[in-house]
C-alpha cells in the first residue's frame, strides 16, 4: 500500500510539472503572437501614414514627433523580442511528446523509476517506441536502459 501511495504521489508531481510546462509553452507562443501582431501594426502604420510625398511645415513637425514616439515604441519592442529569444531556450518542446524521436534528446526524470540502473535525473532519450510509456534512455555514455 505504501509503495502504491508513493507511486501515486510521484505521478501527481509529474502531472503538476506537465501542467506547468504546458502553461509556459502556451504563454510563450501567445507572447510571440502578440509581438508579431504589434510589429505588423507598426509596419502598416509606417507604410500608410508616412508615405505621403507632400507635407506642409506643421504636418512635418507633427510627423517627426510621432516618429520619435514610434522609435521609443520600437526600442521597447526590440527589448521584448530579445526577451522572447532568451525565453525560447527554456520553452519545453511539447510537440515532441507525441511524435517519435528523430535524434537523441536531453530529458529529465520527474519521478523515480523502479529500475535500479537509473540513479540520475539527467538522461538522454534515444528512442521511444510506438507506446508512449516505453522508451530507451542513455544514462551514461554507452549505457542504455529500456524503461517502461
| pLDDT tens profile 97-112 | 777 767 766 666 666 6
pTM: 0.66
- Please state, as a whole number, how many other Cβ atoms lie within 10 Å of the Cβ of residue 1: 5
The mean pLDDT value of the chain amounts to 76
Amino acid at each position: 500500500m505504501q509503495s502504491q501511495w508513493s507511486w501515486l504521489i510521484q505521478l501527481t508531481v509529474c502531472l503538476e510539472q506537465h501542467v506547468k510546462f504546458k502553461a509556459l509553452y502556451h504563454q510563450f507562443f501567445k507572447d510571440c503572437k502578440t509581438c508579431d501582431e504589434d510589429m505588423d501594426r507598426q509596419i502598416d502604420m509606417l507604410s500608410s501614414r508616412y508615405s505621403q510625398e507632400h507635407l506642409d511645415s506643421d504636418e512635418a513637425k507633427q510627423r517627426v514627433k510621432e516618429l520619435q514616439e514610434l522609435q521609443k515604441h520600437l526600442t521597447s519592442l526590440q527589448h521584448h523580442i530579445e526577451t522572447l529569444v532568451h525565453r525560447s531556450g527554456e520553452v519545453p518542446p511539447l510537440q515532441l511528446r507525441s511524435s517519435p524521436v528523430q535524434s537523441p534528446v536531453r530529458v529529465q526524470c520527474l519521478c523515480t523509476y523502479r529500475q535500479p540502473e537509473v540513479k540520475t535525473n539527467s538522461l538522454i532519450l534515444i528512442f521511444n517506441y510506438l507506446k508512449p510509456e516505453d522508451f530507451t534512455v542513455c544514462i551514461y555514455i554507452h549505457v542504455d536502459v529500456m524503461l517502461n
